């Protein structure tokens, strides 16, 4: 999605803005731009005193950097933007910032009534330069200024005409000492520095400067000066927002020496799972605590797990975990489908919205649907104070740290961890899980990060395996039971970063169709750890071999039967079935990564994809 940055302070704004946009590149974009208000803070400088200078273009950020290298816009106040097109094709004219009259604006979201607003303003002489919905914001604010409103009031009053989703930042010519920003259903965070202030769509942009942040709430409008900010609602009523301290270091949001963010994040998974367990697991007592979240699982009719993409695969695993350990009925839905099937969710049900970003529009819509039908909502998300976290009745945070790579890895395994904790806590409360069994499972759960590390340390084996099959054009992934969702996830990882066609299937479905696909060029990844369904999976493996398919098996350490039957085998430690997905997914992530790396695709920002899909 689009990325926004804004700055006011003693530094040259151009440098701060371009660096901030660089740290938002992962959000996916097709254009970039900045606007800088020239003149030192508080005084009029020579030249075009008090007017914002705009530089913007289609394409990658490097093109914008080159375009200003000779003569960078000068000034201590500015806004910047990376655009992911929603209205109007990617072009220089449609790139942000958009300016009309005295007002320059950058925006993330969708102005749903922009056509009606544009038509209305056109009748009074406004001329529009772009195809975007965003440009209407500059016109609306400028019109309020002309009507005599002060700058802060002009922004508020303009936004009252707007329907839709927005996070925005605004410069106003002649107003040297402030920028303005606002949010509704799209993320925006303020960074508090010493004599300087920042705004950004996401934390990595402000981290190099400060860890003190303020998360704006929906409906907030802020006037930001170098020494602080004033926040009101659209009516002008003051709002108090407490600052939070982000523990993520700037380094965490950088690559840390890895070739790609995705590889760094794959390697971070043992510590991410450890961080997600911390303070919530008490093996001796067999207890699990959910950060004080009060949910009476025993009274629940049903739990709905709703998500998109990789988070949906986590939800599918969650069904096995919660039904297996807590014996509560679980329904799993794709968020993009949920609200269109008139779901029977209601009072007495719990909807768990799983979302790494906490901003996925379809998942947010499912939350609204559930709340509208009287259900309670819990969010499982990785981003504090994200929109879905704010909309939920309770939030159970994963502690994966910033996940920059578009392909989700550590967020996924920490989601599995959160769902495990949920299932264990629920099982203890419904008495479906005895204290003794819970104690045993918790003790084993505490060893899982170490087991994950043992797998990831075998990265060379997976790199070799990837290179062996990197030229295949079609892959099939098979799994049963709790590993069936991992087959789906393995296929998604491969297709989204290497652009190779791959399908995940329940192994038992082979004979109902996919077996017709098998040929000697096709790698078939089969999840065959010891456990429920093992024998059946072994039959599937033989069926594939009998048709000359190339079997890459993920098996339990020491299983020579699988090793003899497969073309290639990767061993994982022997763990209880509820913990297997945390291990079986790892070789599939690394396999996908090294195939994509061998193909030279843009692993961290695959084509057409965005890290957070904030449009439906
Ligand atoms: C996963 O690798 C993809 N990037 C994508 O499927 C992602 O999981 C999906 O868009 C959901 O995102 P969320 O978890 O932030 O809601």
C-beta of 181 in contact with ligand 1 (< 6 A): no
CA–centroid distance, residue 335 to ligand 1 (Å): 11
Q: What is the pLDDT of residue 93?
A: 87
Phi, psi values for residue 609, rounded to 5° = -105, 155
Average pLDDT over residues 602-615: 88
Which of 34-43, 50-59, 101-110, 502-511 has the weakest average pLDDT? 34-43
* DSSP symbol at 185: B
Q: Distance of CA 228 to CAs 7, 152, 193, 243, 607, Å?
A: 12, 15, 9, 12, 39
581 Rama class: left (phi>0) / alpha (psi -120 to 50) / beta: alpha
Question: Do 164 and 143 contact (CB within 8 A), yes or no?
Answer: no
Average pLDDT over residues 7-29: 90
* pLDDT of residue 598 exceeding 70: yes
Q: Distance of CA 363 to CAs 117, 217, 330, 339, Å?
A: 29, 18, 17, 10
Q: What is the pLDDT of residue 47?
A: 43
Q: What is the pLDDT of residue 11?
A: 94
> If residue 140 lies in a helix (H) or strand (E), which one and from where to where?
helix 135-146
CA–centroid distance, residue 89 to ligand 1 (Å): 24
For residue 320 the two structure tokens come to 């096995």
Average pLDDT over residues 376-399: 91
- Integer Cα distance of 600 and 310 in angstroms: 23
**pLDDT tens, residue by residue, 126-141:** 999 988 889 999 999 9
Q: What is the pLDDT of residue 44?
A: 45
Helix axes 484-498, 580-599, angle to 10 degrees: 20
Provide the b/e sequence for 309-338 (b: ≥16 CB within 10 Å).
bbbbbbbbbbbbbbebbbebebbbbebbeb
For residue 473 the two structure tokens come to 């054009």
Query: Residue of the nearest CA to atom 10 in ligand 1?
Result: 309
CA–centroid distance, residue 419 to ligand 1 (Å): 17
- Integer Cα distance of 421 and 433 in angstroms: 13
Of 253 and 375, which is predicted with more confidence?
375
C-beta of 309 in contact with ligand 1 (< 6 A): yes
Under 8 Å CB-to-CB from 507, ≥6 apart: which residues? 478, 479, 480, 484, 487, 526, 527, 533, 536, 537, 540
Q: What is the pLDDT of residue 291?
A: 86
List beta partners, residue 505: 478
Q: What is the pLDDT of residue 96?
A: 95
For residue 304 the two structure tokens come to 């709905």
Question: Do 486 and 581 contact (CB within 8 A), yes or no?
Answer: yes
* pLDDT of residue 606 exceeding 60: yes
CA–centroid distance, residue 232 to ligand 1 (Å): 33
CA–centroid distance, residue 439 to ligand 1 (Å): 33
* DSSP symbol at 403: -
Q: In what order do the strands lie in the sheet with 330-334?
A: 330-334, 302-307, 349-355, 376-381, 394-397
* pLDDT of residue 359 exceeding 70: yes
**pLDDT tens, residue by residue, 338-356:** 999 999 999 999 999 999 9
C-beta of 612 in contact with ligand 1 (< 6 A): yes
CA–centroid distance, residue 612 to ligand 1 (Å): 7
**pLDDT tens, residue by residue, 295-314:** 899 899 999 999 999 999 99
Q: What share of the chain is helix, strand, coil (3-state, %, to 5)?
A: 40, 25, 40
Average pLDDT over residues 246-271: 82
Phi, psi values for residue 460, rounded to 5° = -60, -40
Q: What is the pLDDT of residue 82?
A: 94
Which of 129-133, 350-354, 413-417, 590-594 has the weakest average pLDDT? 129-133
Helices (H) and strands (E) in the chain, counts: 19, 26
- In the block, residue with structure tokens 């996924």: 412
Question: Do 94 and 31 contact (CB within 8 A), yes or no?
Answer: yes
C-beta of 308 in contact with ligand 1 (< 6 A): yes
Query: Residue of the nearest CA to atom 6 in ligand 1?
Result: 309
- In the block, residue with structure tokens 């395994």: 413
C-beta of 606 in contact with ligand 1 (< 6 A): no
Which of 222-226, 282-286, 529-533, 595-599 has the weakest average pLDDT? 282-286
Q: What is the pLDDT of residue 416?
A: 98
Q: Pick the atom of ligand 1 nearest to 612's CA.
A: 15
Whether 308 is catalytic is no
pLDDT grade, residue 2 (50/70/90)? confident
- Integer Cα distance of 82 and 72 in angstroms: 18
- In the block, residue with structure tokens 């530094």: 11
pLDDT grade, residue 110 (50/70/90)? confident
- Give the number of residues written for the chain: 616
- Integer Cα distance of 585 and 138 in angstroms: 47
Rg (CA), the chain: 26
Of 319, 295, 323, the C-alpha closest to 306 is 319
Q: What is the pLDDT of residue 519?
A: 93
* pLDDT of residue 553 exceeding 90: yes
Average pLDDT over residues 256-267: 87
- Integer Cα distance of 307 and 309 in angstroms: 7
Phi, psi values for residue 576, rounded to 5° = -60, 145
* pLDDT of residue 250 exceeding 80: no
Average pLDDT over residues 144-171: 96
For residue 130 the two structure tokens come to 């772009």
pLDDT grade, residue 86 (50/70/90)? low
Average pLDDT over residues 316-331: 98
Q: What is the pLDDT of residue 253?
A: 63
- Integer Cα distance of 113 and 66 in angstroms: 36
Q: Pick the atom of ligand 1 nearest to 363's CA.
A: 16
Mutate to test the pocket of ligand 1, among 308, 380, 387, 490 (most ligand atoms within 8 A of CB): 308
Q: Distance of CA 55 to CAs 62, 104, 451, Å?
A: 13, 12, 50
C-beta of 408 in contact with ligand 1 (< 6 A): yes
C-beta of 311 in contact with ligand 1 (< 6 A): yes
Of 516, 492, 519, 518, the C-alpha closest to 503 is 492
Of 349, 273, 335, the C-alpha closest to 306 is 335
Whether 511 is catalytic is no
Which of 24-33, 75-84, 174-183 has the weakest average pLDDT? 24-33
Question: Do 359 and 190 contact (CB within 8 A), yes or no?
Answer: no
C-beta of 614 in contact with ligand 1 (< 6 A): no
CA–centroid distance, residue 569 to ligand 1 (Å): 29
C-beta of 51 in contact with ligand 1 (< 6 A): no
Q: What is the pLDDT of residue 610?
A: 85
Q: What is the pLDDT of residue 43?
A: 52
Under 8 Å CB-to-CB from 457, ≥6 apart: which residues? none
Residue tagged active-site, from 22, 410, 493, 611: 611
* pLDDT of residue 185 exceeding 90: no
C-beta of 406 in contact with ligand 1 (< 6 A): yes
């Amino acid at each position: 999605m689009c990325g926004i940055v804004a700055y006011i302070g003693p530094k040259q704004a151009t440098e701060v803005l371009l660096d901030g946009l660089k740290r938002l590149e992962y959000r996916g974009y097709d254009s970039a731009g900045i606007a800088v208000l020239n003149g030192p803070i508080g005084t009029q400088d020579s030249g075009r005193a008090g007017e914002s200078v705009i530089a913007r273009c289609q394409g990658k950020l490097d093109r914008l950097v080159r375009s200003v290298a000779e003569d960078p816009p000068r000034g201590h106040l500015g806004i910047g933007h990376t655009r992911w097109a929603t209205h109007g094709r990617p072009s220089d004219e449609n790139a942000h910032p958009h300016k009309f009259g005295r007002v320059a604006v950058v925006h993330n979201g969708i102005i749903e009534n922009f056509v009606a607003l544009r038509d209305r303003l056109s009748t009074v002489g406004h001329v529009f330069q772009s195809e975007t919905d965003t440009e209407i914001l500059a016109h609306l604010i400028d019109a309020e200024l002309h009507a005599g409103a002060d700058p802060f009031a002009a922004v508020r009053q303009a936004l009252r005409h707007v329907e839709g989703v927005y996070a925005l930042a605004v410069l106003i010519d002649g107003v040297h000492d402030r920028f303005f920003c606002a949010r509704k259903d799209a993320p925006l965070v303020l960074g508090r520095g010493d004599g300087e202030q920042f705004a950004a769509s996401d934390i990595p942009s402000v981290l190099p400067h400060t860890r003190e942040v303020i998360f704006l709430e929906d409906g907030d409008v802020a006037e930001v000066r170098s020494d602080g900010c004033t926040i009101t609602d659209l009516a002008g009523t003051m709002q108090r927002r407490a600052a939070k301290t982000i523990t993520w270091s700037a380094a965490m949001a950088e690559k840390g020496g890895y070739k790609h963010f995705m590889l760094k994040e794959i390697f971070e998974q043992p510590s991410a799972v450890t961080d997600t367990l911390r303070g919530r697991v008490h093996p001796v007592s067999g207890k699990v605590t959910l950060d004080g979240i009060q949910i009476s699982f025993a009274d629940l009719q049903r739990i709905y797990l709703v998500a998109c993409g990789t988070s949906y695969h986590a939800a599918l695993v969650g069904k096995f975990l919660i039904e297996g350990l807590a014996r509560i009925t679980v329904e799993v839905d794709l968020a993009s489908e949920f609200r269109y099937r008139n779901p029977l969710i209601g009072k007495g049900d719990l909807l768990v919205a799983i979302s790494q970003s906490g901003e996925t529009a379809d998942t947010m819509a499912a939350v609204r649907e559930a709340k509208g039908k009287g259900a309670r909502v819990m969010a499982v998300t990785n981003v504090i104070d994200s929109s879905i976290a704010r909309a939920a009745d309770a939030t159970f945070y994963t502690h994966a740290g910033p996940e920059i790579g578009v392909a989700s890895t550590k967020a996924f395994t920490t989601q599995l961890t959160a769902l495990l904790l949920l299932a264990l806590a629920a099982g203890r409360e419904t008495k479906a899980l005895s204290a003794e069994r819970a104690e045993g499972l918790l003790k084993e759960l505490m060893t899982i990060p170490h087991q994950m590390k043992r797998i990831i340390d075998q990265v060379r084996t997976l790199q070799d395996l990837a290179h062996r099959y990197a030229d295949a054009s079609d892959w099939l992934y098979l799994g049963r039971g709790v590993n069936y969702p991992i087959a789906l996830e393995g296929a998604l990882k491969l297709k989204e970063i290497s652009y190779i066609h791959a399908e995940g299937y329940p192994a038992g479905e082979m004979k109902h169709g996919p077996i017709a696909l098998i040929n000697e060029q096709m790698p078939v990844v089969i999840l065959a750890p010891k456990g429920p369904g093992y024998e059946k999976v072994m039959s599937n493996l033989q069926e594939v071999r009998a048709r000359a398919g190339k079997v890459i098996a993920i098996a339990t350490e020491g299983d020579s039967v699988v090793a003899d039957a497969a073309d290639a085998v990767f061993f994982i430690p022997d763990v209880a079935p509820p913990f297997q997905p945390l291990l079986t997914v790892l070789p599939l992530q690394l396999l996908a990564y090294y195939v994509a790396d061998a193909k030279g695709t843009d692993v961290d920002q695959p084509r057409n994809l965005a890290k957070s899909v904030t449009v439906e």
